[in-house]
Amino acid sequence: MTPVDALPEWHALLAHAGTAGRVHLREQFAADPDRAARFAFRHGPFLLDLSRQRLDAAAVERLLALAVAADLRGWIDRLFAGDEVNHTERQAALHTVLRMPAGTVARVGGEDLVPAVERERQRMAGMVERLHAGHWRGYSGRAITDIVNIGVGGSDLGPAMVCDALHDFTDPRAAKLRVHFASSMDGSQLNRLLRVLDPETTLFIVSSKSFSTADTLANARTAREWLLAHQADEALVLRQHFVAVTASPDKAVAWGIAADHILLFWRWVGGRYSLWSTIGFPIAVQVGMARFRELLAGAHAIDEHFRTAAFAQNLPVLLGLAGVWNTTFLGIRAQAVLPYDGRLAMFPAYLEQLAMESNGKGVDRAGRPVAYATCPVLWGGVGPNAQHAFYQLLHQGTVPVTCDFIAPVRREFPLHGIDAVAGEQARRELASQHRLALANCLAQSRLLAMGDVDPSRPAWRHYHGNQPSTTLLLDELTPFALGGLIALYEHKVFVESVLWNINPFDQWGVELGKQVANETLSVLDSAGGAIDDAATAALVAHMRRVLGGEGA
């Protein structure tokens, strides 16, 4: 296949970026009174505003032509059909099947995958029911009150982010259950939890697709030892206090987890695309199965839109095209994700993995080094908080950054446990706080685009503007809308990968570090051992001196 950057459509974009890409957003708006409407796209609960991207109609046309030339249509079809789109691992990427409604058909290699997905979901629902009903009991017979998800990466970030975002939607039957997350390899989070949790009433979910991730297994071993320190009957402890969620059930069984406490998912679900599977167990515990299904339905609605809508009206396609335009053609190598809603505080961290583990690649599908920029550095934070932290760089720094402003328009404030009169007053205050956040969202995107250079003011009070941004409004943050929001970004990342001709579904870049860490651990663990790297050897020697009590 012709490398993408040899396509005439690619060169047309390069040429266009050299001219139109230099026009300040202020001038773009002045030249086109319809710009705001022209670049606004409505679908379901979303309004996507791309008018503050440094795009003009010709750029969009050329990007759409590149999408056609790169066979985006064919790639979308192959993704949904279950072809081996992850060719380096000989895997399909069928996360979309996980959110197909029960009763629909997803035939891959002659087999309909939907019934198996639904069966596993029913098993998960059974466990959720036992927990909600207070029937899941610890070794002493008391009902489980605390659930700790032990996992990392995709086995942590997705469920943790969704549980946080949907806290207002907590199932009343889960009111007495608390869901916690422990991911850090060094045990810091777990240690803090173990200090306050009651071993008699704590259930651990060991979430790991591979069931071989060092971080997760280390935390799981610590949890097991903590329980055994309180109850020596290991079989009882393992049975009553551990669930595994994995695509490697043999390893979970070998670890000691009861077969009927193992929830499955499949190798064809990528870790960072897995929250829709049984990896979503903590979500289902917190919000209940009905809302978990609403989350899936929201994602499915976006899948259908992505699969069928014309590219020029297709939200994930447009998001992906804007991403490629910024990174590759305008040379903007940084992206800030800025939710104006504290419930989405973990969304940027979730997107870091989704975007950078997927598209942080430097070779194309044929293994050729690429000569163009791929995934930008992505980070972010709750917008209003970040205004008091890193926005200075956005407004006056020397780095071009594209920003995604995300905000729900409507917001309800369920106030639990506050009496009616005081509650009503507080609710009014919260509603005005929401409007305050929205006003700030609008102010920041406007200022970043338009700037403000008043020559009567000193240079340090000038705002040059022309920092592009996308505004994505949700009517309301519901399970359905959140499912759609996540799916929008999943597909955006896929669209970008197609235009960059890279495989977004593998992550070979993280493998070697695991191997070197194992080798280094054996050196650190033993008194001797050699390391053929001068810097590491010197640091190890220093660590040994400190550990040996000799000081630095």
User: Among residues 35, 121, 209, 305, which is the contact residue for ligand F6P, using CB under 6 A?
Assistant: 209
Is residue 359 near ligand F6P by the rule CB under 6 A? no
CB of 58 to ligand F6P, least distance (A): 39
- Between residue 498 and residue 517, which ones bind ligand F6P under the rule CB under 6 A? 507, 510
In our burial notation (b when 16+ CB lie closer than 10 A, e otherwise), range 109-125 reads eeeebbeebeebbeebb
* Maximum Cα interatomic distance, the chain, rounded to a whole number of Å: 78
Q: Which stretch binds ligand F6P (CB under 6 A): 76-84, 168-176, 202-210, 224-232?
A: 202-210
Task: Based on the shown chain and the rule CB under 6 A, indicate whether residue 152 belongs to the binding site for ligand F6P.
Answer: yes
Task: Give the burial class of 380: count Cβ atoms within 10 A of its Cβ; 0-12 exposed, 13-18 middle, 19 or more buried.
Answer: buried
Three-state DSSP state, 207 = strand
List all residues 6 or more positions away from 284 whose beta carbon is below 8 Å from its beta carbon. Answer: 124, 125, 128, 292
- Using only the alpha carbons of the chain, give its radius of gyration: 25
Nearer to ligand F6P, 375 or 473 (CB): 375
Which one, of 50, 67, 59, lies nearest residue 15 by Cα? Answer: 59
Q: What ranges in 242-373 are assigned the alpha helix state H?
A: 249-255, 281-287, 289-308, 315-324, 347-351, 358-359
- Both structure tokens of 153: 């990466």
Q: Of 224 and 272, which has the nearer Cβ to ligand F6P? A: 272
Query: In this chain, which of 28, 96, 213, 327 binds ligand F6P, going by CB under 6 A?
Result: 213
SS3 108: strand
Residue 548 in tokens? 């040996």
Q: Which is nearer to ligand F6P, 149 or 216 (CB)?
A: 216
Tokens of 176: 């007495």
> Which residues, in sequence order, are CB contacts of 424 under 8 Å at separation 6+?
none
Beta strands at 402-410 and 469-476: parallel, antiparallel or unpaired: parallel
Q: Is 99 in the site for ligand F6P (CB under 6 A)?
A: no
How many chain residues interact with ligand F6P (CB under 6 A)? 14
Stretch that binds ligand F6P, among 15-23, 204-212, 344-352, 527-535 (CB under 6 A): 204-212
Of the ranges 146-154, 296-304, 306-314, 515-523, which one interacts with ligand F6P (CB under 6 A)?
146-154
Which region among 29-37, 207-215, 291-299, 370-378 touches ligand F6P (by CB under 6 A)? 207-215
Site string for ligand F6P, 459-498 (x = CB under 6 A): ----------------------------------------
Q: Is 355 left (phi over 0), alpha (psi -120 to 50) or beta?
A: alpha
What residues have CB less than 8 Å from 384, skipping those under 6 apart?
A: 340, 437, 440
With CB under 6 A as the contact rule, the residue among 28, 216, 478, 497 that binds ligand F6P is 216
Structure tokens at 29: 């708006």
Cβ at position 247, least distance to ligand F6P in Å: 8
Burial class, 184, CB count within 10 angstroms (exposed 0-12 / middle 13-18 / buried 19+): middle
> One symbol per residue from 153 to 192: x for binding ligand F6P (CB under 6 A), - otherwise; what is it?
xxx-------------------------------------
Closest CB to ligand F6P among residues 86, 231: 86
Structure tokens at 346: 């973990």
Q: Which of 82, 159, 271, 380 binds ligand F6P (CB under 6 A)?
A: 271
DSSP designation for 21:
G
The answer to the question of residue 53 lying near ligand F6P (CB under 6 A) is: no
Instruction: Characterize the bridge pairing of strands 111-112 and 107-108.
Output: antiparallel
Told to check if 278 binds ligand F6P by CB under 6 A, we report no
Q: Does 208 engage in binding with ligand F6P (CB under 6 A)?
A: yes
Active site residues: 357, 388, 514
Question: Judged by CB, which is closer to ligand F6P: 241, or 272?
Answer: 272
* Size (the chain), residues: 552
Mark the segment that binds ligand F6P (CB under 6 A) among 119-127, 129-137, 147-155, 435-443.
147-155
Report the residue number, 139 or 255, with the smaller CB distance to ligand F6P. 255
Nearer to ligand F6P, 311 or 489 (CB): 489
Q: What are phi and psi of 485, to 5 degrees?
A: -60, -45
C-beta closer to ligand F6P: residue 158 or 376: 158
Residues that bind ligand F6P (CB under 6 A): 152-155, 208-210, 213, 216, 271-272, 357, 507, 510
